[in-house]
Amino acid sequence: MQKGKTGSGIAGKSDGPWEQAKIMGGLYGDGIIALQSAFDRALVEQIVEDIEALFAEAIAIPGGALPRGPERYYVEVHPERISGFVAIVTHPWFVAVCDAILGPQYRIVEVGFDIPFPGAQDQPWHRDFPSPEATLIGRRLNSLAFNLTTVDTIPAMGAFEIALGTQWDDLSACPGGMFPPEAFYPRYRERVARKLPQMGDISARSALTVHRGTANVSQQPRPVLVVGVDAPDGTNALHHDLQITRDYAARLPANVLDHLTYRLVDELKFVEQHHVIEGLL
């Protein structure tokens, strides 16, 4: 994997309209923050078209779409195949959040999407990977997951539920360091926030904050675009394969390329999905 040059961040520093203290307070406190109507509907509608085409390709290839439970899939994709990727990662709020939490040398390491289709069931409470030492011992967040909502979510589609403040919980004795026992569930229900975002909203969360997707009893899928970002000491790039072609790299603004951890290729190759979460199957 190549890393771009380490710089001081891209346009829209955290001393702009979004205060660093509020960003840090939200992510170190609740574990999730959001910006409503960050992107216009025309851009998001194009992203939806991209996701539909990419899912059709992925589901036809063994290992192309990872199941995350009944009728729920995750697909890792190439940035250049997502309309508006540059617009997303240069949005001043995105930059301000990365800069405040991960520092000016943050790395974009993952692009993908999650789709709960009709029939998706409640997931068990979980975090997306075990707590790193930086968080468990150092009490520092060194990664973030950004979720861009592509539909107007209604309750029947299944709310995203997150147990606020649980990014600091020690689950090291639990299966995989990710799946708490049912005895812990009452605490999560006490702390739960149910999220029903609308098209164009974007959130940032610690993937360590205990959360779950809930049942989609509607007749509509609910795709969510995911962008994963690490601090310099984060290791999530090891689980992903962010590829960009030489032609795309030549066209990217330098202040985007500098923040990517990527594999430079002449031609995009099938992404072998590595981030399997067996406890969700």
pLDDT digits (tens, 9 = 90+) for 193-213: 999 999 999 999 999 999 999
* CA distance linking residue 132 with residue 156, whole number of Å: 35
* CA distance linking residue 185 with residue 191, whole number of Å: 10
* Segment 84-101, tens digit of pLDDT: 999 999 999 999 999 999
Q: Would residue 281 count as lying in a domain? A: no
- Write down the pLDDT at residue 263: 94
Domain CATH for 191:
2.60.120.620
Domain range for 208 is 2-267
Domain count, the chain: 1
Q: Would residue 155 count as lying in a domain? A: yes
- Write down the pLDDT at residue 273: 65
For the chain, list residues with pLDDT below 50: 5-15
- Joined together, the tokens standing for residue 233 give 């000491």
- Write down the pLDDT at residue 276: 57
Q: Would residue 256 count as lying in a domain? A: yes
Q: Would residue 279 count as lying in a domain? A: no
Q: Would residue 278 count as lying in a domain? A: no
* CA distance linking residue 258 with residue 106, whole number of Å: 9
- Joined together, the tokens standing for residue 23 give 């960003």
- Write down the pLDDT at residue 64: 86
- Write down the pLDDT at residue 149: 95
Q: Would residue 183 count as lying in a domain? A: yes
Q: Would residue 114 count as lying in a domain? A: yes
Q: Would residue 272 count as lying in a domain? A: no
Q: Please give the distance of CA 269 from its chain centroid, rounded to a whole number.
A: 22
CA distances from 242 to 115, 203, 205, 227, 249 (A): 20, 21, 21, 11, 12
Indicate the residue type of 82. I
